[in-house]
Amino acid sequence: MEEHYVRILKERLDTENYNKLMAIRNSYLHKFIAKYIDLCNPDSVFVSDGSERDQRYIREAAIKNGEEIPLAIEGHTVHFDGYYDQARDRENTKILVPKGVYLGENIRTMDREEGLREIHEIMKDIMKGHECYICFYTLGPENSVFTIPCLQITDSSYVAHSENILYRQGYKEFIRRGETSDFFKFVHSEGELDERKTSKNIEKRRIYIDLEGDTVYSANTQYGGNTIGLKKLAMRLAINHAAKEGWLTEHMLIMGIHGPNGRVTYFTGAFPSMCGKTSTAMLEGETIVGDDIAYIRSIDGIAKAVNVEKGVFGIIKGINKKDDPIQWKVLHSPNEIIFSNVLVDEKGKVYWSGMGEDIPDRGYNHSGEWWRGKRDKEGKEIPPSHPNARFTVSLEAFENLDPRWDDPKGVEIGAIVYGGRDSDTWVPVQEAFDWDHGIVAKGASLESERTAAVLGKEGVREFNPMSNLDFLSIPIGRYIEINLEFGKKLRRKPKIFAVNYFIRDKETGEYLTDKVDKKVWYKWMELRVHDDIEAIWSPTGYIPKYEDLKSLFDKVLSKDYPESLYIKQFTIRIPENLSKIKRIRNIYSKIKNTPKELFKILDEEEKRLKEVREKLGDYVSPRDLEKLVQKP
């Protein structure tokens, strides 16, 4: 007797798509797909085998159904999200947990049974009138210890198109693995659309992550951060697996910094959105492995990392020809690119804030027809492009792509960098004393000013450990403990650094660093990884010597670097650092199961700061620190 799920698939799929699906010998997969086709009730179903033919079908569908609009440059399209669907929806993104499981007050959770019941009610017939796309991908290189296979079910051709650009195709990996339930699953529907082809029922926007079922549900939204399941939504699933299996899932770029004599040192870096992460990954003269998410494993005592993705879902605001020549070239060349929520003129040219060119007075954007001075229903003036406007493009479009970007063995990490928006505390670059100090005083103590990448009030300083708080699916205390434990497995530990691109002058409030100065900070860090240069001890970590930075500014940027600027940048602001420690200690004192080591390291840093203050005052010049006896 024919199984019920087979009958559903035969009835709902045509012969070609049915055969593509059945080529994967996996009854668990077939049952899952049949369940959601039956529940969501699309008009038709397309199964992608990852071939160029099938990817082209999805690209063309996105244009045909109006989710994307062709632009002037070949291969470029634009997608508009709804006016109130422009960022990650924190309030309605929840992790579903069984009764009795508590992840902590910093992580939004919901009773699993209640959440599954609600999301299934919302998804009943939600795809009616739409085509459903069944796609297969892998997170990380295929056929590797890092590989996680993924199934995406969506009725948005924009989402499927985006994932085809951002992720490695996984159809062959599913065939290779055969009968298994060990894969991530994503079910998404944009829901009913308005006349602009944007999600209409925003009040029913839900993003639920079911850890037990390794499944993400997303409904009534199109914005990529809520719908491109393999991105930040998959991080919750991966963090949960990593915690059980002893590896790390991190919100980190991976890049190769090129040192003397052809040496390449691989860095990872964690930055909250709009804090310079993508621009760092795209530094001219260096090579990119990935700009957003890293899986890190200890392999024979060496920290190895892979890029989970093969593309960039990047913030476009501020990208300009002078500061970002590599990205600028890609954005103006014939490539497969999806722009989102930018301004488009009548000729199909795109514009965005901070691009360094005159922006026309009229055009079309996320609000519809736009003109300078246009206001929304709250009376707020609408900018030409949204602050969180994006571009989606393959890494292979970039001339600075590292040759090992897809290495299934991963790349060895020489350094880990943490950075956020910080106007008054951290110096532009500093090195932690050791692994534990770096994890606690840099990573676990990360704070950053809120930006337009999340819904809510901008400008509020937020606690964001390892820039990963939004994506945690385990208690924060456990997450910090796992990071500390990971270092104990390593026979060669990466050095840990902190950077701050946003330090301001105490008197004038002006930024003390230029956007391009980060090129110098990374060259300095690369030299420190190999102990090629000395550094100055400070109570918060090692900082650069003026002479080394002056030489690097000249060599890297052909730029004079006055000592007066160095002193302003690298003066240790003891009151602000003490206030930060107090804030961080207070936060962790309320978090259950925070490792005792964290409080010990914070106490030690506080003690060092107070001892230096007694000798040298509240604001301590690096020249005065050089006179102290401590040596790196």
Reported as type and span, the H/E element at residue 619 is strand 619-620
Phi and psi at residue 198, to the nearest 5°: -115, 155
* Contact yes or no for 622/571 (Cβ under 8 A): yes
Let me know the angle formed at the C-alpha of 566 by 624 and 280, rounded to the nearest 5 degrees.
Answer: 130
User: Any residues with CB less than 8 A from the CB of 150 and at least 6 apart, and which?
Assistant: 136, 137, 138, 139, 167, 170, 183, 184, 185, 186, 229, 230, 234
Active site residue 132: no
**Distance (Å, whole) CA 28 – CA 180:** 7
Q: Which two tokens stand for residue 113?
A: 């049974």
Q: Which residues of 53-92 are buried (b: 16+ CB within 10 A; e: fewer)?
A: ebbebbbebbeeebbbbebebeebbbbbbbbbbbbbbeeb
* Contact yes or no for 581/605 (Cβ under 8 A): yes
* Contact yes or no for 217/123 (Cβ under 8 A): yes
- Catalytic one of 40, 132, 135, 275: 275
User: Any residues with CB less than 8 A from the CB of 378 and at least 6 apart, and which?
Assistant: none
Reported as type and span, the H/E element at residue 549 is helix 546-557
User: Any residues with CB less than 8 A from the CB of 273 and at least 6 apart, and which?
Assistant: 315, 388, 451, 453, 454
* Contact yes or no for 402/256 (Cβ under 8 A): yes
Q: Which two tokens stand for residue 461?
A: 């300083």
Reported as type and span, the H/E element at residue 518 is helix 518-529
User: Any residues with CB less than 8 A from the CB of 244 and at least 6 apart, and which?
Assistant: none
Instruction: Provide the angle, in degrees to the nearest 10, between the axes of the packed helices 546-557 and 563-570.
Output: 110
Instruction: Provide the angle, in degrees to the nearest 10, between the axes of the packed helices 4-12 and 15-22.
Output: 140
Instruction: Provide the angle, in degrees to the nearest 10, between the axes of the packed helices 518-529 and 546-557.
Output: 120
Q: What single-letter amino acid sits at 464?
A: N
Q: Which two tokens stand for residue 615?
A: 């000798």
**How would you class 360 by CB atoms within 10 Å of its CB: exposed for 0-12, middle for 13-18, buried for 19 or more?**
middle
* Contact yes or no for 616/624 (Cβ under 8 A): yes
Q: Which sequence positions are flagged as catalytic?
A: 275
